[in-house]
Amino acid sequence: VLKFKNRDNKVKVIFVIKSVITAAGKGTRLLPITKELPKEMMPIFSKIYNNNLIVIPLLQFIFEQLYGIGIRDYCFVVGREKRSIEDHFTPDETYLNELSKKNNALMSNFYKRLEKSHLIWTNQNKPLGFGDAVRRAEKYIGNDNFIVHGGDVSVIGGSKHPVLRLIKTAKDDPSIAAVLLCKKIKDPKRYGVPQVKNTSSSVYLVEKVEEKPTKPKSNLGLLPIYFFKPK
């Protein structure tokens, strides 16, 4: 549940949001490291706790970012070889007690956030693509608003987090059914490229999306981060 101030800056508007995080891909482009280590668990540097530089899995960073903007409901779509992901997101008090004071604090903070969240897991047993992975979360989504976040890409934000901007854009216009996150790039041929009309300095009306076009119609590339209303 996210709370926003209304246009009069007084009344808070409650907006229910669920999240679907896809983490079922095989990561073949990153072999051989992804033979045993899921690409979503690749280590990255982060200052997520007290501005101290630490190393955490990419998927944890995504979770922490979404938690930071107020999201508490998560559905992870995983494949058969991704048990290590579920293990990482399962609090282990015995393991916690064996850590040094410094490392204990880092894991303890993470576990506290997990305990304040609702996490479910669903399997994509066959590699049938991104759309099929999202469809696996259909029963979990029900009639609620939701975001879809690829488990192998991250964006940085804080109070101006791009995901929060997606949600606010949809909240402010009841006619909007979906909001897609785009980025201006020099060579969009390797991405999904939307054909758009400008509606503001940073918001576009999407007319069509082409997947990896040889002649892109714009310099925008889609990121695997989306907001959808249940309709």
Instruction: Quote the pLDDT of residue 6.
Output: 52
Q: Going by DSSP bridges, is the β-strand pair 73-78/118-123 parallel, antiparallel, or unpaired?
A: parallel
Query: Taking a C-beta distance cutoff of 8 angstroms, is the pair 177, 228 a contact?
Result: yes
Q: What does the pLDDT read at residue 159? A: 58
The per-residue pLDDT for range 30-42, each reduced to its tens digit, is: 777 777 778 888 8
When pLDDT is averaged across residues 73-84 and rounded to a whole number, the result is: 87
CATH of 2-180+223-228, one of 3.40.50.300, 3.40.47.10, 3.90.550.10, 3.30.2350.10: 3.90.550.10
- Dihedral sign from CA coordinates of 225, 39, 82, 65: negative
CB-based burial label for 107 (10 Å; 0-12, 13-18, 19+): middle
Q: Where are the domains of the chain?
A: 2-180+223-228
Residues 143-197: pLDDT tens digits? 999 999 999 888 876 557 888 888 888 887 888 888 988 888 888 888 888 888 7
pLDDT interval class at 115 (50, 70, 90): very high
pTM for this structure? 0.85
Instruction: Say how far apart CA 170 and CA 95 lie, in whole Å.
Output: 42
